[in-house]
Amino acid sequence: MVNTLSRPLRRAAGLALRTRRRVRDERLKRRFASAFLPDRAALATYERELQASGLLEHLRSKGREFDEAVRDVPGPRHTIGAIAYLEGINLYAVLRTVKPHIAVETGVCNGFSTAFSLLALERNGHGELHSIDLPRMIGTDYVPGTFFEGKGQAGVPEGKQPGWLVPDHLRHRWSLILGRSDEHLPELLERVGTIDSFLHDSEHSFENMWFEYSQAFPALREGGVLMSHDINTTEAFPRFAAEHGREPIDLSRGMALIVK
Ligand SMILES: C[S@@+](CC[C@H](N)C(=O)[O-])C[C@H]1O[C@@H](n2cnc3c(N)ncnc32)[C@H](O)[C@@H]1O
């Protein structure tokens, strides 16, 4: 009896939650579009491009492949660690607008943000994406301290490479450095010169976020964008934005950008 009553109730609660989320996401998209995009129609255009590209279905199917691969792996639940679809769409819209020649990101893992970014560059018809990632390979034992202790269980399944779900036809604009961002970012920025966009999604400690922002911001051209995921995990992003007199523009509740 309890079960037959509770199932419809649970369904109704689930529907109400999804509706609330959809309304919230729509509001966020409108705010992002009016704060950052050239006109109101631009976001809809970019969403249509993404739908037509087949990337969303591709990522959904790779997400299922990930779930299948880690389902029986012992230990704590392993996660794909990816940016959300709303964030991917907004990231795509940012890079379609900024049209970077040089884009830099930290934190690749299975490759969601990388795939959205590379599709934007492909549609722009120019640009390179340089990524840095210290991947956690599921099934590998690491020396304690290899990863920041606040890190979740995002990882790459056994037998896969970091960024494995990036479609082959987008890879020709991509270079990947494996290792810690605090070791490799300064050298990368030195090598590529002025950059047009930066995305932080690696280790979300205050020190590392602050380090990456402080390295990337001076390397950005005027009008370039500094984006960050997980902005609510520490004070780093809001404090960095305030110190540089910039107003953050939200791409989601946990992801935002500032314009240089
Ligand atoms: C949240 S995941 C990135 C998700 C990715 N942006 C996406 O949308 O699919 C974070 C990645 O950063 C890596 N990482 C952790 N600490 C790092 C560090 N110090 N330097 C570079 N990468 C790091 C993690 O192992 C993981 O691969």
DSSP for the chain, please give it.
Answer: -HHHHHHHHHHHHHHHHHHHHHHHHHHHHHHHHHHHSSSTHHHHHHHHHHHHHTHHHHHHHHHHHHHHHHTT--SSPPB--PPPHHHHHHHHHHHHHH--SEEEEE--TTSHHHHHHHHHHHHHT--EEEEEE---BTT----TTSS-TT--SB-B-TT--TTTTS-GGGGGGEEEEES-HHHHHHHHHHHH-SEEEEEE-S---HHHHHHHHHHHHHHEEEEEEEEES-TTSSSHHHHHHHHTT---EESSSS-EEEE-
- Region of 224 (left: φ > 0; alpha: ψ -120 to 50; beta: rest) is beta
pLDDT of residue 68: 95
CATH fold of 12-259 = Rossmann fold (3.40.50)
Report which protein residue has its CA nearest ligand 1's atom 1.
81
Q: Relative to the CA of 162, which ligand 1 atom is closest?
A: 27
Could you give the angle at which helices 112-124 and 85-98 cross, rounded to 10 degrees? 30
Q: What is the pLDDT along the chain (260 residues), one digit of tens a residue?
A: 445 668 788 888 888 888 888 888 899 999 999 999 998 899 999 999 999 999 999 999 999 999 999 998 887 788 999 999 999 999 999 999 999 999 999 999 999 999 999 999 999 999 999 999 999 999 888 888 888 876 568 999 999 999 999 999 999 999 999 999 999 999 999 999 999 999 999 999 999 999 999 999 999 999 999 999 999 999 999 999 999 999 999 999 999 999 99
153 alpha carbon to ligand 1 midpoint, in Å? 11
The pTM (predicted TM-score) of the whole model is 0.94
Backbone torsions φ then ψ of 70, nearest 5 degrees: -105, 0
pLDDT at position 150 is: 62
pLDDT given for residue 151 in this prediction: 56
Scanning the structure block, which residue is given the tokens 């989601």? 252
Q: Given this model, what pLDDT does residue 1 score? A: 46
Ligand 1 neighbours by CB, cut-off 6 Å: 81-83, 106-113, 132-136, 147-148, 151, 154, 180-181, 201-203, 208
pLDDT of 4 reads 60
Q: Report the nearest atom of ligand 1 relative to the CA of 152.
A: 1
